[in-house]
Amino acid sequence: MLGPFAIIGHPVGKSMSPRLFCAAYPQLPPGTYLVVEADRGQTAMHKMETLGIRAANITMPLKTDCIPCAQQVSDQVLQTNATNLLRKENGTWSAWNTDVTGVSESFRATGVTLAGRQALVLGAGGAGRAAALALEQAGARVFIANRTPREGLFSLDSVPDLLAACSVVVNTIPVAQKEELLRNLTKNHTVLDASYTQAPAKKATLQAGACYLSGYHWLYHQAVEGFQIMTGLEPDTGAMRRLLGL
């Protein structure tokens, strides 16, 4: 599959994905990977069809909105109700979710065992749901805290108490605005941030002496799987890691 490929969402101007793709596939010509702004699923699909996009990374706010546009969906998409990748093959669009792999591999690659541990996910959006699935599949008991609590979700006010029971944390919300949420972090915690641009949990995690995994870990691991699905080619993982400082 020779492209063109793209990242689609809004806003996407600061995304690392174009640079990461170029590092992964230096043999491909310039312009193979595009940046496309769209804030609705139907708009995104129209632009992809117009531009002849063969596969695309899907980011906010389209992770759920684009699912109905696909004729085939992976099990991970069904379980999370979120997609971060669409691919067109033989005229049929399929939806994938490599965020699940991004989370599980971020912990595995850094030697963090998840089986038998209690884990806290902050945020119940597309990224949060993918994180929860990854942790559950790895054998952790998962608690989810969200701005809007509902059945099965704790309120953000519960986070300090939950941290006393959970040693693994995945953050998908801008907690820098509410740093008191993470006041009970200790050196025994491991924290993975979803955002690599804002790193919202970094300050509190490092102050507590806890292990901090930046969003670059998540970005890298989801991209390795995602780029393979998009292109059918093996990416240059060494070049990708060097670009991200991993």
* Same domain? 86 vs 187: no
pTM: 0.95
Alpha carbons 42 and 169: distance in angstroms, whole number: 34
pLDDT digit of tens for each residue in the chain (246 aa)?
A: 677 999 999 999 899 999 999 999 999 999 999 999 999 999 999 999 999 999 999 999 999 999 999 999 999 999 999 999 999 999 999 999 999 999 999 999 999 999 999 999 999 999 999 999 999 999 999 999 999 888 889 999 999 999 999 999 999 998 755 668 899 999 999 999 999 999 999 999 999 999 999 999 999 999 999 999 999 999 999 999 999 999
Question: Annotated catalytic residue: which of 14, 47, 63, 88?
Answer: 63
Identify whether residues 73 and 119 lie together within a single domain.
Answer: no
- CB count in 10 Å sphere of residue 180: 10
- Same domain, residue pair 149 and 233: no
Residue 177: its pLDDT value, please?
55
Angle between helical axes of 17-24 and 237-244 (0-180°, round to 10): 140
Instruction: Assess whether 86 and 165 both reside in one domain.
Output: no
Tell me, yes or no, whether 146 and 186 share the same domain: yes
Residue 110's pLDDT is: 95
- CA-CA distance, 235 to 170, in Å (whole number)? 26
- R_g (Cα) of the chain, nearest Å: 18
Q: How many domains does the chain have?
A: 2
For position 58, which CATH number holds?
Answer: 3.40.50.10860
**Rounded distance, CA 117 to CA 135, Å?**
9
Name the nearest CA neighbour of 54 among 32, 76, 83.
32
Do 82 and 155 have their domain in common?
A: no
Same domain, 206 and 229: no
CATH code of the domain containing 132: 3.40.50.720
- Per-residue DSSP letter, 29: P
Q: Are residues 154 and 83 in the same domain?
A: no
Q: Which residues pair with 36 in a beta bridge?
A: 8
108: phi then psi, degrees, rounded to nearest 5: -60, -45
pLDDT at 189 (0 to 100): 98
Say if residue 124 is in the same domain as residue 91.
no
pLDDT of the residue at 151: 87
Same domain for 139 and 185, yes or no, is yes
Q: Which domain holds residue 231?
A: 5-97+222-244
Active site residue 63: yes
Distances (CA, A) of 157 to 77, 129, 154: 29, 19, 8
